[in-house]
Amino acid sequence: MGCYTTFTPINIETRKGEPKIVEALFDAEKLWKELCKKVKINNVKGIAFILNDREHKSWPDAYAFRQKCYEYCQENGIYYFCSSTLAFQISVGISRTKVAVEEGEEILVIYVEGVALHGQSLIREKSYFRAVNSHLANDPNFTKKFKDVYLKGCKPKKIILMRFGNGKFIEQVIKFFKDDDAVVVDIDAEAMNDSLVQKMLGLMNGKISSFDVPAQLQTVFVVKLDKEVLMAVGYENALPFEKSVIIDCSAGKAVSVPFWASKYKKGLYSESTELLQKIKLATFASKKVKITLKIDANAFYDFKVEQFNGNDIDEEFMKLNFNDVIPEKSEYSQKIVRIIFGENHFSIVWIPQTGCEQKILDPTGKILFL
């Protein structure tokens, strides 16, 4: 988005596309009309919206814009994907290099924009890379002190430097990180298109690359009981996200959801805090309430406060047959199950003849933890 809007229709087979640039469009209806003029909408299988919420007047405006774009896609049978500029650029760097690190190790991906050094540190999970921190420096002096501040404690096993063409500044960056096992990858329009098509097809077909970077939030949601923080979720949490807590219902208190978002105006970034929702607990008759925050892969949220009467066992759990989830081997013929209850959850272990506790897995192979 920025000062202009670019439409780039990309051919799935050739991965080639011709950008079409128009003035910046912050109205979803106008954007969609302009899009329909530039491309044959019936031939479009998916649309990737690469945009930054901070470029809108406010975060609610940005959220409404994304929601409307999503609705247009749904109405026309088009797959919707949305990402910030930073998250998309970083994912391109990883997909092009396919950097190999062990689970739990960190990497740092850096790209240059003008004389600004944008970066993101990520940690290797089992099947994807999860964002840990963002790194930004304007007109750096390339000293050891600068490096320590820029890394923010990150100790990357690999550093990926993305080079968009040649320039004096990027060469300074490459030289500065030459002793850090840095990988330099050249990125052009074709590489961007190819990475985007790969990601979109993977999402549409349910075949996600192990080098994928899941969708990230561009804001921070916080759920509070008066001044007490109950949960928080930000860009370091891979989407989709879901968390619930059960609390005592105090008539004089309220549950609120403020959020923090950054704004960009006249070359400067600033932070803003706004109240998204507030619910008074006096409206509930139960002794306890269940608070749930869900954020889907498109960064659309769902917040609920419901009365809780102490019977919250998942229906799917009730259907489980322990004989199906415990391996059928002779050494496991004696099946002793132990259920461990916590304040807000319980987990299950089983004890075979060996006497060693084992975690029970559900039919999908995940640890059964409720």
List pLDDT tens digits, range 211-221.
999 888 888 99
pLDDT at 329 over 50: no
| Average pLDDT over every residue of 252-268 | 73
Last residue of a domain, one of 193, 228, 262: 193
Quote the tokens at residue 59: 């975060």
CA distances in angstroms from 20 to 23, 24, 85, listed in the order given:
10, 12, 18
In tens, the pLDDT along 95-133 reads 999 999 999 999 999 999 888 899 999 999 999 999 999
User: Do residue 12 and residue 78 come from a single domain?
Assistant: yes
The count of other CB atoms within 10 Å of the CB of residue 46 is: 18
Last residue of a domain, one of 48, 83, 118: 83
Q: What's the total number of domains in the chain? A: 4
C-alpha–C-alpha distance, residues 119 and 109, integer Å? 5
User: Do residue 345 and residue 281 come from a single domain?
Assistant: no
| Average pLDDT over every residue of 78-103 | 93
pLDDT at 284 over 60: yes
For 197-257, the three-class secondary structure string (H helix, E strand, C coil) is HHHHHHHHHCCCCCCCCCCCCCEEEEEEECCEEEEEECCCCCCCEEEEEEEECCCCCEEEE
Helix axes 28-38, 59-75, angle to 10 degrees: 40
- CATH at residue 156: 3.30.420.40
C-alpha–C-alpha distance, residues 325 and 319, integer Å? 12
CA distances in angstroms from 96 to 99, 109, 162, listed in the order given:
8, 12, 10
Q: Which pLDDT belongs to residue 348? A: 62
Give residue 333's identity as a one-letter amino acid code: S
**Coil vs helix vs strand at 173:** helix
**Coil vs helix vs strand at 105:** coil
User: Do residue 74 and residue 117 come from a single domain?
Assistant: no
56 — pLDDT class (breaks 50, 70, 90): confident
pLDDT at 78 over 90: yes
User: Do residue 188 and residue 150 come from a single domain?
Assistant: yes
pLDDT at 209 over 80: yes
**Coil vs helix vs strand at 103:** coil
| Average pLDDT over every residue of 4-19 | 88
| Average pLDDT over every residue of 147-163 | 94
pTM as predicted: 0.76
User: Do residue 90 and residue 169 come from a single domain?
Assistant: yes
C-alpha–C-alpha distance, residues 224 and 243, integer Å? 13
Using an 8 Å Cβ cutoff, are 267 and 291 in contact?
no
C-alpha–C-alpha distance, residues 49 and 80, integer Å? 8
User: Do residue 324 and residue 304 come from a single domain?
Assistant: no
Residue 15 backbone zone (phi > 0: left; psi -120 to 50: alpha; other: beta) = left
Give residue 139's identity as a one-letter amino acid code: D
User: Do residue 354 and residue 334 come from a single domain?
Assistant: yes
Last residue of a domain, one of 159, 193, 227: 193
pLDDT at 188 over 80: yes
Element (H, E) at 138: strand 129-138
Rounded to 5 degrees, φ, ψ at 318 are -65, -25
pLDDT at 295 over 80: yes
- Containing structural domain, residue 351: 315-359
Element (H, E) at 96: helix 85-97
DSSP assigned state of 281: G
Place of tokens 């740092």: 108
For residue 245, being part of any structural domain is answered with yes
Using an 8 Å Cβ cutoff, are 190 and 198 in contact?
no
User: Do residue 19 and residue 33 come from a single domain?
Assistant: yes
38 — pLDDT class (breaks 50, 70, 90): confident
pLDDT at 149 over 80: yes
Quote the tokens at residue 343: 């304040």
Q: Which pLDDT belongs to residue 368? A: 47
CA distances in angstroms from 191 to 10, 14, 339, listed in the order given:
12, 12, 51
Rounded to 5 degrees, φ, ψ at 246 are -115, 125
| Average pLDDT over every residue of 87-94 | 93
User: Do residue 110 and residue 188 come from a single domain?
Assistant: yes
Comparison of pLDDT for 204 and 260, the residue scoring more: 204
Q: Which pLDDT belongs to residue 245? A: 95
Place of tokens 């609390």: 247
**Coil vs helix vs strand at 175:** helix
The alpha carbon of residue 143 and the mean position of all alpha carbons in its chain are separated, in whole angstroms, by 32
For residue 78, being part of any structural domain is answered with yes
User: Do residue 257 and residue 244 come from a single domain?
Assistant: yes
C-alpha–C-alpha distance, residues 254 and 224, integer Å? 8
